[in-house]
Amino acid sequence: MEKLEKRLELRLDAKRIKLLEEESSRTGVSMAELIRRAIDSCYQPRDLRIEQKLKALEELGMIGAPTASPGRMKDEIAAGMLGKRRP
């Protein structure tokens, strides 16, 4: 486990405290650890986020799903944004 070096005072409203208490009780994980995990999941280093996105793209490529031509996909995306049905 990494060394915890600094203390932070955090003030939360009753609703958030209740959510943390319930999750802590359900999982057996301290509220402090739940907050650390939330921070880790939301604020990852840029390089790690890029690495995760590239991995997801690689996995998607392994599916081998059929795709339309780039032009057709562009048209379908534009139609979807405009709320139109595909031809």
List, for residues 42-65, the tens digit of each pLDDT value: 887 777 778 888 888 888 878 877
Domain locations along the chain: 14-82
- The 10s digit of each residue's pLDDT in 22-48 is 999 999 999 999 999 999 888 877 777
Q: What angle do the packed helices 14-27 and 31-42 form, to 10 degrees?
A: 100
Tokens of 38: 């939330």
Task: Provide the terminal-to-terminal Cα distance of the chain, rounded to the nearest Å.
Answer: 56
Query: Which helix (H) or strand (E) segment is 70 a member of?
Result: helix 70-82
pLDDT (mean) for 70-76? 85
- Contacts of residue 20, defined as CB under 8 A and 6 or more positions apart, other chains included, come to 12, 31, 34, 35
- Whether residue 86 is predicted with pLDDT greater than 70 in this model: the reply is no
